Amino acid sequence: MELLTTLLYILFVIAAIVLIVVVLLQEGRGGGLTDALGTSGQQTFGVGASGINRFTGAATAVFLGSALLIHVMNRHSISSGVMKDITTPEASAPPAGPTPPPGGNPIKLTPMTPPGK
């Protein structure tokens, strides 16, 4: 199981790098990396844009598929969460209301009246 997860991570990283390069090689309105590399991008993927678009779609599918498989495999392998041993504040909070002082007589609060009334 760990070997399969490791291979999926390797495939994920390779697909991410390929996807970055392929997107940068695509011909845009303002030139981009294809102008910097000259005609090597066109020679690699052919003159037509449909080939590079299909390759980009395939690289995207591999990237997303490996990301989903990694998520599913990690979700099933983890049996406990980070917040497992933490108690909630409601469970450990003292009861609401004024607490009496140690002497036993509670302090009575009276509202203040504004001066002049």
Break the chain into its structural domains and give their ranges.
2-77
Question: What is the reported pTM?
Answer: 0.51
* List of residues 6+ apart from 26 with CB closer than 8 A: 32, 34, 49, 52, 53, 56
The rounded distance, in Å, linking the Cα atoms of 53 and 33 is 16
The pLDDT tens digits along the chain (117 residues) read: 789 889 999 999 999 999 999 988 887 655 556 556 655 555 555 555 678 888 999 999 999 999 999 999 888 766 666 666 666 666 555 666 666 666 666 667 777 788 776
Of 5, 7, 47, 45, which Cα lies nearest the Cα of 23? 45
